[in-house]
Amino acid sequence: MRLAGESNLTPVPVLAAHVNILIDSGMSQCGIARTAGVSQSTISNIVAGKLRSCLRSKGERILAVRPATIDDQSNKPVLGSARRLQALYAIGHGGTAIAARFDIHRSTVAQIVNGRYGEVNGFIAAQIRDIYTAMSGSPGTSTNALYRARQEGWAPPAAWDDDRLDDPQARPEWTGHCGTDRGWWTHRQQDIPGCCACDEAHAQWKKEHGHLPRPELMAALCASKASASRRGETIAHDGRELLDQGHTFAHAAERLGITTQHLHQELRRHPAPGESEAA
């Protein structure tokens, strides 16, 4: 390489800029080192500006690491773990029941639920995923957990798309129509804790209809309220009938004019007699 006029080194400022991008994406120095196959001290020294040069072979491996590459050993944002535990509280599983069933300390559950941590290590995050999978399908018996969840406005498992619990942009879907005025009325009629998206939608509805004469405004208000009927129960009932007839979830949802996710949510919100006990 020297005879060809090429350098066997990678400029450290280039590596430092890339490492900072990786860190901003949520990766730790240890996680970057593991993914790149270099020592943690190499990454630390790059960040601290202590290295004057770096072998090209190491530099290329570091530059090949993509942002947000999180392995099972790395610390992870606590958001997904907190949502999972809060969802379990919302169906009656308190910290004591969770800790008794799995190898996780009750104080750890409490700290995560209360938002005391910004991150959790990969082992704890994996445990909580397993806990959520095992316990989210059946209700618990803790009235204290139910009360706490209602006071805090924590969404139950049925309101979440399980694949997006770790996504900061994801929002719980309480009603099947959250983010609309119909959703706001559904919250009220079915005694479901309110959500910000529906509050904003109802405020926007009032702003858009505020110019109407009072008779027309009241007629529009009644129509909007009527749209939030017990449709969820009807969807769950009709969905079960279609499934019993041999239709797939996708076909049943298509027949009902809803998404597959919406059908799953309504089936979980409105279990048939005996389903909770069987779970």
Q: pLDDT 10s digit of each residue in the chain, 279 long?
A: 667 777 788 888 999 999 999 888 878 888 888 888 899 899 999 998 888 778 888 999 999 999 877 766 667 788 899 999 999 999 999 988 898 877 788 888 889 998 888 888 878 888 898 999 999 888 888 999 999 988 888 888 888 888 888 888 888 877 777 778 877 887 777 777 777 778 888 888 888 888 888 888 888 887 777 766 666 777 888 889 889 988 888 888 888 877 787 788 778 777 876 654 444
CA–CA gap between residue 32 and residue 213 (Å, rounded) = 63
The torsion region of residue 38 among left (phi > 0), alpha (psi -120 to 50) and beta comes to beta
What's the CA angle centered on 219, arms 179 and 193, to 5 degrees?
30
0.85 exceeded by the pTM? no
CA–CA gap between residue 76 and residue 78 (Å, rounded) = 6
Token pair for 256: 């009902």
pLDDT of residue 228: 67
pLDDT of residue 229: 64
Query: Residues near 68 by Cβ (< 8 Å), separated by ≥ 6?
Result: 25, 26, 27
CA–CA gap between residue 210 and residue 55 (Å, rounded) = 68
CA–CA gap between residue 19 and residue 42 (Å, rounded) = 11
165, 131 Cβ separation under 8 angstroms: no
pLDDT of residue 73: 67
Q: Enumerate the β-bridge partners of residue 120.
A: 76
95, 106 Cβ separation under 8 angstroms: yes
pLDDT of residue 274: 61
pLDDT of residue 230: 65
